[in-house]
Amino acid sequence: MENFNQTLPKRFILIGLSTIPHVQVIGFLLFLVMYIMTLVGNCLLLITVRTSPKLHTPMYFFLSNLSFIDISLSSTVAPVILMNTLSIDTSISVGGCVFQMFCYLVLGVAECVLLSVMAYDRFVAICRPLYYSSIMNMRFCIILALIPWIVGFINASIHVPLTWRLPFCRSHHVNHFFCEVPPFLRLSCIDPWLNEIAIYVSAVSIVMCCFLLTLISYIFIISSILRIRSSRVRHAVFSTCFSHLIVVSLYYGTLLSIYLHPPSSHSAEKDRIASVLYTVATPMLNPIIYSIRNKDVKKCIITNTKKIVMALSMPISPLSPNYRPRC
């Protein structure tokens, strides 16, 4: 323990997007726009599902959970990147780094598991339509919504203590935008073999299992869709799943590229690009993908937006209870 305390810096230095001033400004503006779009898009989707009785179904219940996770995941990472891009001091305390790493691991795994839950919901809706209401009742939906958070919490509770047991004697400069596990393994002055095993176990037991469950669900879904004789009905049914397929492809494509090969062989540059994709870009794209491909969501968003614009543009009558005379 004494040796560990001597090798653990009080603060770690995170790299910014660039050391070139004009590139810093461009990077800052780009990340700021992406973060604002993430917040606006996901919040609008949450409000739409909440205020539209037509969308009070299991499918949109899980979509609301996905939006909440996307907002939280992006807010865990994006503000730190924005501050470090233009700030001279890009350091972060050990406590702040541990907290960010823990939240990031919980939310990342929770989104992974939730995508599988959403695939199962589509499987029941398309392959077992007569039993959908009885299977996907409110109690079962709440249990399915809690499972991603439980799995994410257990995963983070394993990886964070394993990472911070390592002595970081090589450097206190982290070659990454935020506190993620792989860059810290490269700072250790001992072989992080246990951490590598834990990453592989998590990748196989959580990521690959969720991916396979999603894949199996869609094999049954596609086979059921192909048996539909009407091309119009077939297209309508497939359109309800296509948005989810795009989101799954974006998420797993970047996630598996990082965690399914040894940390020692990681390219720091590729890791940073992939991390930005699934922590900032994917949460921004998710509400756009679901809104564009889903007529119900699109219609409700347009209706709610018109109501908000009308409410803001409508002058307040003196007879209104919200009217306050000016002094």
Cβ neighbours for 140, distance < 8 A, ≥ 6 positions apart = none
- Chain-wide mean pLDDT for the chain? 81
Whole-prediction pTM value? 0.84
pLDDT band for position 90 (cuts 50, 70, 90): confident
Tell me if residue 193 falls in helix, strand or coil: helix
Q: Is the pLDDT reported for residue 136 higher than 90? A: yes
Cβ neighbours for 11, distance < 8 A, ≥ 6 positions apart = 91, 92, 93, 94, 172
Q: What is the pLDDT of residue 20?
A: 67
Q: Are 69 and 45 in contact (CB under 8 A)?
A: no
**308 is a domain residue:** no
CB atoms under 10 Å from CB of 225, counted, come to 18
Domain span at residue 45 reads 2-298
**265 is a domain residue:** yes
Q: What is the pLDDT of residue 255?
A: 67
**244 is a domain residue:** yes
Q: Are strands 173-174 and 91-93 parallel, antiparallel or unpaired?
A: unpaired
- How far is residue 248's CA from residue 234's CA, in Å, rounded to a whole number? 21
**312 is a domain residue:** no
Q: Is the pLDDT reported for residue 49 higher than 90? A: no
**311 is a domain residue:** no
**217 is a domain residue:** yes
Domain CATH for 165: 1.20.1070.10
- Number of separate domains in the chain: 1
**174 is a domain residue:** yes
- How far is residue 243's CA from residue 109's CA, in Å, rounded to a whole number? 20
Compute and round to an integer the Cα radius of gyration of the chain: 23
pLDDT band for position 251 (cuts 50, 70, 90): confident
Max CA-CA distance within the chain? 74
**262 is a domain residue:** yes
Q: Is the pLDDT reported for residue 278 higher than 70? A: yes
- How far is residue 236's CA from residue 227's CA, in Å, rounded to a whole number? 14
